[in-house]
Structure 1
């Protein structure tokens, strides 16, 4: 149901006549997709939550300015984009550098499934939705300055025309087109070269087998087996802990071997975030007589090998809907 239809049902001609409860009902229908939009802009799940709340607050305060020239949804997207730009100006005046994003957080697939399908029945729309939520895309986009970042997402992800983006940002169409060119060039510098081979959520049998073998080798702390699954140019990071390791030797010598040193009693639980396969690892704690959350490994798989491992700390387990502990028999 459109906002206009809902307004007609309420017997009012504009948002200025709507009470707070009815306005909240209209806005809440767009919460998840606005959250995903803010997440693309910010790279942080938590910051996106705060920004959506700020968006709804601003929208309520400015409800009388909505004149119906655009859809209610587009109006909210405009407010959300500006709220993101304000947050970036205040808290992150400089974009990420060096290929890592310390504030990066995962986005659970179960919440991505809440985004309305819209035109996502079209194969191209499905591909865009998947590719632009994967961690590699998020990392690349965080290396762009805020305004080109906003232009890129509004134009290439949402499909807004340049004129509409220019009106939102208070720029000329020429400025928007120039910013888009710079943003696309910046993305090419940071995106994986094999973008067309990204696995995303399209897990074939070979991918599922690789994830299974990686999980089993990790539980067994079988370092040679893990090393054999990695690409020569594999990348590993663990936000918010600083450090980006590139290349099999660097990853195995400085990441995997150190991480597994003295570690016994692991269990792995499959999950999915950012439309990528992931494994939640639990470590046996004798004093608790249970396996407790340890880390989450998110994998990017290219051509049958692991191209990237992004590891997140145990504080992300609740958000992903993972159990807080596993009993001694390893069941959930």
Structure 2
């Protein structure tokens, strides 16, 4: 793989990787460093990559695995700690209702199985399509669709229970 092929086929994906890497590692600065390291690793494997049937899938899988390795090395639980993640974006970020809703949704996300949580975050927060999600998680697209559907159902029913309870319906 030449420099130009690498630039056109692999390096262009670095911007698409940023939301996922940033979310997993927890900061933009760590994500920028990680993406540089990921690109270096992939560049070193460029001879094997030339004949790979799904280059973007390989890049996403490599990025995800790299992030998880960094977290394990630092003894941080993936998707676990305090996250700067905002599920719902509002014009008025200081609005207490929006902050409370985000907190409730983040609490619900903690109860989801890991794969459902990952697919939900990659699809609805990061904006990846199902082919990219399937490649990154090394699953089939149909399975990714099932996981997102189940995650959305669980989040929806948990929100209904929460708000019905607050209204005194239970």
Question: Which structure: larger Rg?
Answer: 1
Q: 1:221-253, CA deviations, whole angstroms, 9 ceiling, x for partnerless residues?
A: xxxxxxxxxxxxxxxxxxxxxxxxxxxxxxxxx
Change beyond 3 A, Cα 1:28–1:168: closer
Task: Name the structure 1 match of 2:119.
Answer: 151
Change beyond 3 A, Cα 1:94–1:187: farther
Matching of residues 1-332 of structure 1 within 5 Å = 15=1, 18-19=2-3, 22=4, 25-26=7-8, 27-66=10-49, 67=51, 69-70=53-54, 72-91=55-74, 92-93=76-77, 95-96=79-80, 101=82, 104=84, 136=102, 140=106, 143=110, 146-156=114-124, 157-161=127-131, 165=134, 168-171=136-139, 176=144, 179-181=147-149, 183-184=151-152, 187-188=155-156, 189=158
Change beyond 3 A, Cα 1:175–1:85: farther
Q: Which has a greater percent of strand?
A: 1
Q: Distance in 2 between matches of 1:45 and 1:146?
A: 23
1:47 shift after superposition: 2.6
Q: Distance in 2 between matches of 1:170 and 1:68?
A: 15
SS in 2 for 1:96: coil
Please, what TM-score do these two structures have when normalized by structure 1?
0.32
What 5-or-longer segments of structure 1 have no aligned partner? 1-14, 107-129, 194-332
Please, what TM-score do these two structures have when normalized by structure 2?
0.53
Give the superposed CA RMSD: 4.4
What 5-or-longer segments of structure 2 have no aligned partner? 94-98, 163-170
Change beyond 3 A, Cα 1:38–1:178: same
Q: Distance in 2 between matches of 1:160 and 1:94?
A: 21
Change beyond 3 A, Cα 1:151–1:86: farther
Q: Give the conservation status (yes or no) of the 8 Å contact 1:35–1:48.
A: yes
Q: Give the conservation status (yes or no) of the 8 Å contact 1:155–1:161.
A: no
Q: Distance in 2 between matches of 1:146 and 1:87?
A: 18
Q: Which has a greater percent of helix?
A: 2
Q: Distance in 2 between matches of 1:31 and 1:48?
A: 10
